Copies of this chain bind each other. A is one copy, B any other.
Amino acid sequence: MPTAASLSDRLLSGDRRALARAISLVENDDPAGWALVREVYPHTGKARVVGITGAPGAGKSTLVGAMTKLRREAGKSVGVLSIDPSSPFTHGAILGDRIRLTDHFLDPGVFIRSMANRGALGGLSEASLQAALLMDAAGRDDIYLETVGVGQAEVDIIDHADTVLLVLNPGGGDSIQALKAGIMEIPDVICINKADHPLTDTMVREIRGVLSLAPSGGWPVPIVRTEAMRGEGVAELLAKLDEHRAYIEGEGTLSERRRRNLRNEIMALAVARMRREMEARLADDAEFDRLVDEVAERRLDPASAAAQLLGDDPVDP
């Protein structure tokens, strides 16, 4: 079995098997994984990290496949992290969509990984950040973080990215509703995939309407039409992602954005750590069980119970 030192050397040299093993260590919350991230962290920060979000079925994986193909043709190495939050019901990721990425499975310049485990650290968001850092350290030029859904947890994952791409479909209006309702923050680039659909023009107008309500100034969010299955519009999409990258680099906002993201990530990691410590402490705690009984019997309210748990003043929650 390789030592952590040799694993980090192999990882830094771009070894795919070392990268796969390192991500597994992090996903399984193995202390060796965290030690490894610490060791290779000084070598991170070079990759371009693009977060890709949108409803299930929008064609994100097909699009990522098409983007990967073009980046490979341009001589770039690519890492893809597909994030599938799982529930106690399935205990794992369904690879379904990921099959569309199989074209690239044999290409050593492409590393594809699906993550589903919430991780003992308590957050898929935290584990996916660590995995992205490992891909970065392994020298991937481009990292695509692909995530399903439009909820808060998904937004947290996407916050690791330098550039956020939202993939929409004409007709399927869930994500645009999420944008309208403000569940989702305004992305940096919007892609309408399956743009051969007759409702595409309507959707473009609708999106422009939503964007016109956003605080103006700064980067004008481009709307790109693609048909990922046939590779159409993908080169233009990549050009827009590059433009956004050049824009945030030129404005100095890349380092600002990364600093803000890292700040949030440190806090999220600290909170996750506190939560884990608390959950471990309370798992078999008779005193806590008694407290829950009191709450269940309506003798003590949940917020006061939480305050008691922390030994705080119960009045101000």
Contacts and interface: CB of A to CB of B under 8 A. Distances in A.
B296 A262 contact: yes
A70 interface: no
A266 B295 contact: yes
A269 B92 contact: no
User: How many copies of this protein are present in the complex?
Assistant: 2
Top 7 A-B residue pairs of the complex, sorted by shortest distance between their CB atoms: A151-B151, A90-B182, A269-B306, A56-B177, A41-B301, A152-B153, A270-B306
Interface stretch (A81-89, A105-113, A189-197, A225-233): A81-89
A317 to B, nearest CB: 5
A211 to B, nearest CB: 10
Contacts of A44: 298
A305 interface: yes
A88 B185 contact: yes
Q: On chain A, which size bracket covers the interface?
A: 35 or more
A224 interface: no
A7 B185 CA distance: 38
Interface string A268-288: 011101110011001000000
A35 B91 CA distance: 40
Interface in A154-194: 154-155, 172-174, 177-178, 180-186
Contacts of A89: 182, 185-186, 214-215
B267 A310 contact: no
Contacts of A296: 255, 258-259, 262
A90 B310 CA distance: 34
A137 to B, nearest CB: 10
Interface in A287-302: 291-293, 295-296, 298-302
